[in-house]
Amino acid sequence: MNHSSFKRVLLASTAFAFAAALTACGEPVEKSLVKQEAAPVAAADSAPVVDVADIISRAQASHEKSVAMSHGWTRTQPLINKASDALTSGETDAAQEMAERALGMADAAVAQAEIEKTAWQARVPK
Amino acid sequence: MKSLSLSFILGALLASTLAHNASADPEADRLALRSLYEKRFPDIPVDAHIDGAYALDEAKREQWLEMEDFPPYEFTVDDGETLYDTAFANGKTYADCLGPDAPAVKQHFPRFDTVSGQVVTLEQTVNQCRRDNGEAEYEYMSAEMNAITAYIAYQSRGEKIDIVIPDDPRALAAYESGKEFFYERRGQLNFACSSCHIQMSGNMLRAERLSAALGQVTHWPAYRFRWEEVGSLHRRYMQCNTQVRAEPLRAQSEMYRNLEYFMTYMSNTMELNGPSSRK
């Protein structure tokens, strides 16, 4: 991971952890405010928690693996960067959508590298 | 029992290695590729593929030949000649590094260096020469490097490619590595070099005719109108990779050098005709 990408993921992770900490350990005043809105909290509690920073991290790791196998795709890293930026600026839904796409692309690149370890031989003219 | 199993595994590994080496036959690969193009383009002599897509498309060939009347790489060749003829600070010249046939030596590059165990390109040899004589290296994609190699290519015109794969398992491994890269699909568009230049050679890709793989290395460095300057074969590799949305490698990276080794061996006996112009 280059310094800039690492910084992005670190920033995104920190922002997410900070937000999570606020939710879990917020001040009593905020808690009391939340308690007054019982229904939305219950709905939020039942929704699955998506860790966008984790998806970004996995996409980054998978992309780096594909690059190390000489099979990186050009559009993956820019998408990871955009997802990180979106997460940092609080656009969680957009960040999640981009992070999932980046993860899919990175995993596909690794799969391509694995398949091509042997598949290329069938293309050699005999 | 344990030692028996170990012996079996070692035996299997050895057999597998031998089988792999036995299957690596560069000359058989070259002849098979020539045969493929002979069958695909029966009206075009295989050696005519040194003109790339212009061997396959008469209308484009006419335009190209007209452009060659005033070749856009001419100034670069002139610059290269000046650089080539200018002695280093110690009084020596490139000719002292490149041997008695210098500057007409391109037909021997890339070559396998049994000391380093790696493929060595003409560009690396130019920089080695500069280092050995106390001069700063050129950037591989610099105007100076393109000029020097364009001049050497120009002086080597008409020579026939003569790439040797020495009897060294490392040389064969480098060849195989380049071959694998050539046939492997990569990038988001899932293309191999062979997808365009073997499987679909002769067909149109948008407005461009896809050239044959044979003869592709004979005319570099080339002036590309898209680049508006002379550039290297490795720059073209980078562009090809990027076009299929694959992360390009560095110019003169080991993989690209191995790819050049494989591709140039495939074009053995073909005539050098660089530098050239391409769209």
CB contact under 8 A, A121 and B183: yes
Signed CA dihedral, B26, B27, B33, B34: sign only: positive
Residue ranges of B 20-79 with Cβ closer than 8 A to chain A: 29, 32-33, 35-36
Of B97, B129, B193, B240, which one is the catalytic site residue? Answer: B240
ipTM value = 0.85
pLDDT at residue B221 in the model:
97
pLDDT at residue B14 in the model:
40
Q: What is the pLDDT of residues A100-124, one digit of tens each?
A: 999 999 999 999 999 999 999 999 9
Q: What pTM does this model have?
A: 0.83
- Distance (Å) from the alpha carbon of A50 to chain B's nearest alpha carbon: 27
Task: Provide the terminal-to-terminal Cα distance of chain B, rounded to the nearest Å.
Answer: 66
Q: What is the pLDDT of residues A14-38, one digit of tens each?
A: 443 433 333 333 333 333 333 334 3
pLDDT at residue B188 in the model:
98
pLDDT at residue A21 in the model:
38
CB contact under 8 A, B32 and A116: no
Q: What is the pLDDT of residues A66-110, one digit of tens each?
A: 999 999 999 999 999 999 999 999 999 999 999 999 999 999 999
pLDDT at residue B172 in the model:
97
Contact list in A for residue B187 (CB cut-off 8 A) is: 73-74
Q: Which residues of chain B have pLDDT under 50?
A: 1-22
DSSP secondary structure letter of residue B219: T
pLDDT at residue B70 in the model:
92
Does any CB of chain A come closer than 8 Å to the CB of residue B187? Answer: yes
Q: Which of B123, B125, B163, B143 is nearest to B251 (CA)?
A: B123
pLDDT at residue B23 in the model:
56
Q: How many CB pairs under 8 A join A and B?
A: 56
Please give the C-alpha separations between residue B60 and each of B51, B63, B115, B207, B209, in angstroms, as whole numbers.
11, 5, 45, 11, 9
pLDDT at residue B123 in the model:
98
Q: Which of B250, B84, B257, B55 is nearest to B163 (CA)?
A: B257
A42, pLDDT greater than 80: no
- Distance (Å) from the alpha carbon of B81 to chain A's nearest alpha carbon: 37
pLDDT at residue A37 in the model:
41
pLDDT at residue B79 in the model:
98
pLDDT at residue B7 in the model:
46
Measured CA to CA, the distance from residue B271 to residue B279 in angstroms comes to: 21
- B193 counts as catalytic: no
pLDDT at residue A110 in the model:
98
Give the residue from B177, B183, B195, B259 with the most A CB atoms within 10 Å of its CB, the best one to mutate.
Answer: B183
